[in-house]
Amino acid sequence: MKKLLLFAGVVVAMFTSCSKGTAPFTTDSGLNSKDFEIMVDSIQTQLYVMKNASGMEVTFTNIGARIVSIMVPDKEGKMTDVVLGFDSIGKYQNIPSDFGSAIGRYANRINQGQITVEGQTIQLPTNNYGHCLHGGPKGWQYRIFSAKQIDPTTIEFSLFSPDGEMNFPGNVKAKVVYRLTDDNAIDIQYEATTDAETVINMTNHSYFNLNGDPSKPITDNILYLNADKFTPVDSTFMTTGEITSVFETPMDFTEPTAIGARIDDDNQQLKNGHGYDHNWVLNTNGDVNSLAASVTSPVTGIVLEVYTDQPGIQIYTGNFLDGTVTGKKGITYPRRSAICLETQVYPDSPNKFIQGVEGWPSGYLNPSEVYHHHTIFKFSVAK
């Protein structure tokens, strides 16, 4: 009982300090809270910490509502940081990245940066092979969110995106709520409303390295996807509109398979994606209680399970990391040193939907609707 009381006292003290920005502190992951405190656009940036009764720790910054670190136990009980990121707010500001961020307005790519809203074509900024990627060059990952730490295991980030931001229509109010459960899961709830028709597709863009050593590739990690189909892309990473079976292709992860087992096969989709950078069509039918994906490290035994109510998941294997970015603890991140599991509606869904392409979700949000998205990242150790 004394240990429980002591732990509760530590959590309350940490909750108080990071929510009010008082005394500096160092996290279990080695981050210094003072390195995350500046004023941007009249909003205070800070380092926020959640910790559960099991000792798992997750830290955040309100620039991009980002996850900065995730400390979970490995098979030996050693606490291990399993995400890429930076150790100061300045690096998040000055080094372009999506590390850990809440992506918006529209995660993934929109073809040639064009959408049709109320019969009119709107040109969005293009920032990736002629397409609009992750909301454009100044997407929500670079915006300062307002933060409210509700309790030691719950934090809410909110953002107002004005009509015309990155040329997207509608005044949008968005919210991301992270909750840390005692069974070592990060429960993420997204919500958005608009006053005019627009497109919305939010996701989390954490780069996971379950080996706990981001100086090396994660191609030995075992990936499972509850998906019989995927959406092929062309050489500019744009979805073609097809929905194709994964069977007898390197895209088949319906049986757990090492990420690197076929990643360099002589396959046109792998060439187009420079590896895996594709959307899979989940079999889960929007059931957040059904396993959508899992990744297992053979080194640490750490398992990440993904649950979501979204129809798709983008798997990206860090193909464009190249050793030029230095992250936490002075570690440079080489190619394929992480995997992203971005739950979402499909890339370019608004255009495919309005063109009547069969099987594609809408991606549109109207003033009479509320956008909801629920995803869970659950950690455990392989038995």
**CB 6: neighbour CB atoms within 10 A?**
10
CA angle 197, 200, 203 (to 5 degrees): 170
Rounded to an integer, what distance in angstroms lies between the CA atom of residue 352 and that of residue 111?
A: 10
- CA 359: distance to chain centroid? 24
Q: Residue 260 — φ and ψ, nearest 5°?
A: -85, 0
DSSP result, 126-140 = --BTTBEETTSTT-G
Exactly one of 342, 358, 369, 372 is catalytic; which is it?
342
Exactly one of 131, 205, 278, 373 is catalytic; which is it?
205
Strands 244-245 and 229-231, how do they pair?
antiparallel
Q: Is the dihedral of CA 101, 127, 124, 271 positive or negative?
A: negative
Q: Is the dihedral of CA 320, 273, 261, 345 positive or negative?
A: positive
34, 24 in Cβ contact below 8 A?
yes
71, 29 in Cβ contact below 8 A?
yes
Active-site residue flag, 255: no
Round the CA-based radius of gyration of the chain to a whole number and report it: 20
**CB 112: neighbour CB atoms within 10 A?**
17
Rounded to an integer, what distance in angstroms lies between the CA atom of residue 351 and that of residue 132?
A: 13
Q: Residue 38 — φ and ψ, nearest 5°?
A: -145, 170
Tokens of residue 229, six digits: 């189909």
For the chain, the residue count is 383
Tell me the helix, strand and coil percentages in the chain, rounded to 5.
Answer: 15, 35, 50
Active-site residue flag, 134: no
Nearest to 81 by CA among 196, 201, 211, 203: 211
Task: Please enumerate in sequence order all residues whose Cβ is within 8 A of that of 135, keeping only pairs 6 or more positions apart, or say none.
Answer: 103, 104, 105, 106, 107, 141, 166, 168
Q: Residue 109 — φ and ψ, nearest 5°?
A: -105, 145
Nearest to 209 by CA among 343, 342, 69: 69
Catalytic residues: 205, 342
